[in-house]
Structure 1
Amino acid sequence: MEILTTTQKNNVLSSMITIIDDSREAILKANQQDLDAFDRDDRALYDRLVVDSAKVDGMIQAIRTVKDQPDPIGQVRSSGVLDNGLRIENRTAPFGTILIIYESRPDVTIEAAVLAFKANNKILLKGGKEAVHTNRVLVGCWHRALAENNLSADWIQLITLDREATREFLRNPTQPVDLIVPRGGEQLIRFVKEHAQCAVLVSGRGNNFAYIAADADWAKVLPVVINSKTDKISACNALDKVLVDKATPGLPEKLKQLGDALRAKSMQLLADEQLLPLLNESEPIADESVWYEEFLAPKICFGQVDGLETAIGKINQYSGGHSTVILTTDKQKADLFMEQVDSAAVYHNASTRFTDGGAMGVGAELAISTDKLHHRGPLGLEQLVTNKYYVYGDGQVR
């Protein structure tokens, strides 16, 4: 693979900033075509599909942020000289070609491409059919930026295949693919894992939990839970499940206050048998499968647990391994919880909505990885590289 200079890459990104801004009207018009054709019954998917002028500003800011970040390629991770005289360096290197498969969210077409390109990877963008008009305009902007700088359009490609054609491409790709990132729900992840012939990095599934310990400060519980659940229900870092400790003093009054606040935000409340009487207008949990479910909807589920250990066990059994929060005034308890809960991001007294590249200081993100190889959490520029050993000798043999 050709290794571009930092100047070449940043020149493309400078061109892209201007082109996106100049193409604002065309982007919004294409997005309106997609919105007009979309079934608004799926509120979460519809929310992710919408592009307005503020979203375009966000795209421009994402490009500018990545442009200003150091080039991640060729960085020396380690170096040394062995007893036999061999000098060995371990340096960062591109993956090669990344395929990202995602639903809705046209801003991914910008963020994924800018990160992949700055990290010297080619990227294949398989967006959902619901965003095809918007994605075509955005990828057209990328191709103009590449052409202005005498680079091939192959660096950033849009793939518009139906499900059967996508299945065939995963089984028998028509070009080299080194890494696949399915960014979406369980169904998409299973589909890609079943058919892919290369490494798959899982991203996007939430089903996030909050554990409210008996000693929690409810002046913090209320804003954290409400923000985690209601700030953006379509986000993978939104809260779905709340576990309350049965030993909580004044639990009926506290739960009533929390439930009323959530219902005021139009949230549907589900509760286990012990908590149904304490949460006004709550509904029983249909079956165990609900605990595994990522809602992406105005719905939240409450359960009662007996102590920290039980809470940790339940979270590790049912959660998606994305984001988990403990609400407690006991730092020792929080430390134990955060060490033992198996999630990409664990919080003490803070909203799960911070699991995001920008909010965590990573910058633009390709996805939020819930895998353990090669990286977990927001996939930013520094994480979109692999490594390579450079060995310098003078005739040594083994």
Structure 2
Amino acid sequence: MQLIDTQTKNNVLDSMISILDKRRGDILEANKKDLDAFSRDDQALYDRLVVNDAKIDGMIKAISEVKNQEDPVNKEISSLTLDSGLEVNNRTAPFGTIMIIYESRPDVTIEAAVLAFKANNKILLKGGKEAYHSNVILVDCWHQALRENDLKKEWITMLQMNREQTQEFLRNPDEQLDLIVPRGGERLIQFVKEHAKCAVLVSGRGNNFLYVHKDADWKKTLEVIVNAKTDKISGCNALDKVLVDKNIPNYEEKLQELKKVLTASEVKVIVDEEVKKTLDDCEVILDKNVWMEEFLALKIAIGAVDTLDDAIEMINRYSGGHSSAILTEDKEIAKKFMEHIDSAAVYHNASTRFTDGGQMGVGAELAISTDKLHHRGPLGLKQLVTNKYYVFGDGHVRV
């Protein structure tokens, strides 16, 4: 693969910033075609599809942030001189070709490509049909930026395939494919994992839990739950499940207040059989599989637990492994929770909505990985490289 020097890559990003700003009208017009053709039955998907001036500003900001970050390619990880005299250097290297499969969000067409490109990877973009017109114009902007800097448009390619064609491509790609990142719901992720022949980095599924310990500050608890649930229901870092310790003081009164606050925010509350004893007008959860669902809606499930260990066990069994939080004033309890919960991000007295590259100091992100290899959490620029060993000898032979 061609290695592009840092200045040329940054020049492409400068061009892209200017092009996006100048072509706002074209972008908004294309997005309107997608919105007009979309049924609003799925409000979360519709929200992700919308592009407005603020979204375009966000795209430009993401490109600018990546441009200003250090080039992650060919950075030394370690260097050793062995007793034999061999010099062994471990350095970062591009993956090669990364395929992103995503639903709705046209801004991924910018944010995914800018990260992959700055890390010297080719990128294949397979967006959903609902964002077709938006993605076409955004990829055309990329091609214009590449042309202006004497680079081939093949660095960023939009794949236009139906489900059957995508399945065949995953099984038998007609070009080098080194990594696939599916961004979307459980069905999309399972589809990719079932058919892909190369490495798949799973991202995007939420189903996040929050545990209210008996020593929680109740004012903080209410504020955090409302923010985590209602700030952005379409986010994979939104809250879906709350577990309340039955030993919390004034347990029944606090459940009733929690329900009142959530209902005031138009959140539908469903409950387990124990909580139903207190919140008797709420729908009861009869199917345990509900605890595994990512709602992506103004809906929340509340359950009761007896102990910290019960909360940990339930979260590790049912959550998506994305983000989990504990509300407590006991730092030792928080430490145990955070060490034993198997999630990409764990929180003490904070909203799960912070699981985001920009909010966590990573900058623009490709996705939130819930895999453990090769990285878990926000996939930023530094995470879009692999490594390579450079070994220098002087006629060395192994004996």
TM bin (shorter chain): over 0.9
User: Residue 285 in 1 paired to residue 285 in 2?
Assistant: yes
Superimposed CA distance per residue, residues 123-153 of structure 1 (whole angstroms, 9 cap, x where no aligned partner): 0000000000000000000000000000000
Alpha-carbon separation, structure 2, partners of 1:382 and 1:205: 22
- 2:233 maps to which residue? 233
Q: Take 2:212 and 2:5, find their aligned partners in 1: how far apart are those partners?
A: 50
* Residue 95 of structure 1 pairs with residue 95 of structure 2: yes
**Runs of at least 4 residues off by over 4 Å:** none
Q: 1:80 deviation in Å? A: 1.2
Indicate the residue corresponding to 1:85 in structure 2: 85
2:75 match: 75
Residue 162 (structure 2) aligns with: 162
Quote the residue 2:2 is aligned against.
2
Alignment match, 1:222: 222
Q: Distance in 1 between matches of 2:271 and 2:202?
A: 30
Cα distance, 1:278 vs structure 2: 2.6
Structure 2 residue 380 is matched with structure 1 residue 354? no
If the length of structure 1 is used for normalisation, what is the TM-score? Answer: 0.99
How is 1:90-169 mapped onto 2 (pairs within 5 angstroms)? 90-169=90-169
Shift of 1:171: 0.5
- For the Cα contact (< 8 Å) 1:34–1:133, is it kept in 2? yes
SS in structure 2 opposite 1:131? helix
Does structure 1 residue 51 correspond to structure 2 residue 62?
no
Q: Which amino acid aligns with 1:48?
A: R
Structure 1, unaligned stretches of length 5 or more? none
Shift of 1:280: 6.5
| 1:1-398 → structure 2 map (5 Å cutoff) | 1-279=1-279, 281-398=281-398
Q: Is the 8 A contact 1:4 1:120 kept in 2?
A: yes
Tell me the secondary structure at the aligned position of residue 274 of structure 1: helix
Q: Distance in 2 between matches of 1:280 and 1:64?
A: 52
Distance 2:72 2:234 in 1: 31
CA RMSD of aligned residues (A): 0.7
Aligned residues: 398
* Residue 272 of structure 1, CA deviation: 0.6
**Secondary structure in structure 2 of the residue aligned to 1:114:** helix
Q: Provide the C-alpha distance between the structure 2 equivalents of 1:298 and 1:223, rounded to a whole number of angstroms.
A: 16
1: distance between equivalents of 2:282 and 2:229?
16
Whole-angstrom CA distance in 1 between matches of 2:147 and 2:176: 23
Q: Which amino acid aligns with 1:356?
A: D
Listed one character per residue, the Cα deviations across residues 232-252 of structure 1 (whole Å, up to 9, x for unaligned) are: 000000000000001111011
Q: How many angstroms apart in 1 are the aligned matches of 2:281 and 2:392?
A: 71
Secondary structure, counterpart of 1:79 in structure 2? strand
TM-score, structure 2 length as denominator?
A: 0.99
Q: Indicate the SS of the match to 1:278.
A: coil
- Between the aligned partners of 1:50 and 1:332, the Cα distance in structure 2 is 43
Say which SS state the counterpart of residue 98 (structure 1) adopts. Answer: strand
Q: Conserved in 2, the CA contact under 8 Å of 1:260 and 1:280? A: no
**d(CA) in 2 for partners of 1:363 and 1:159?**
27
Distance 2:80 2:22 in 1: 50
Matched residue SS, 2:274: coil
Kindly state the Cα deviation for residue 274 of structure 1 after the two structures are TM-superposed. 1.3
For structure 2, list consecutive stretches of 5 or more residues without a partner in the other structure.
Answer: none
Shift of 1:256: 1.3
**174-183 or 280-289, larger mean C-alpha shift:** 280-289
Deviation at 1:163, TM superposition (A): 0.4
C-alpha deviation, 1:188, in angstroms: 0.5
CA apart distance, 1:219? 1.0
- Asked whether the 8 Å contact 1:269–1:281 carries over to 2, the reply is no
1:263, distance to aligned residue in structure 2 (A)? 0.8
Q: State the alpha-carbon separation in 1 of the partners of residues 281 and 297 from structure 2.
A: 17
User: Quick one: structure 1 residues 280 and 298, their matched pair in 2 at CA, closer, same or farther if it must change by over 3 Å?
Assistant: farther
Deviation string for 1:351-378 (max 9, x for gaps)? 0000000000100000000000000000
The answer (yes or no) to whether the contact 1:259–1:280 under 8 Å persists in 2 is: no
Q: Which amino acid aligns with 1:283?
A: E
Query: Which piece of structure 1 moves more, 31-40 or 258-267?
Result: 258-267
CA contact (8 A) 1:30 1:133 kept: yes
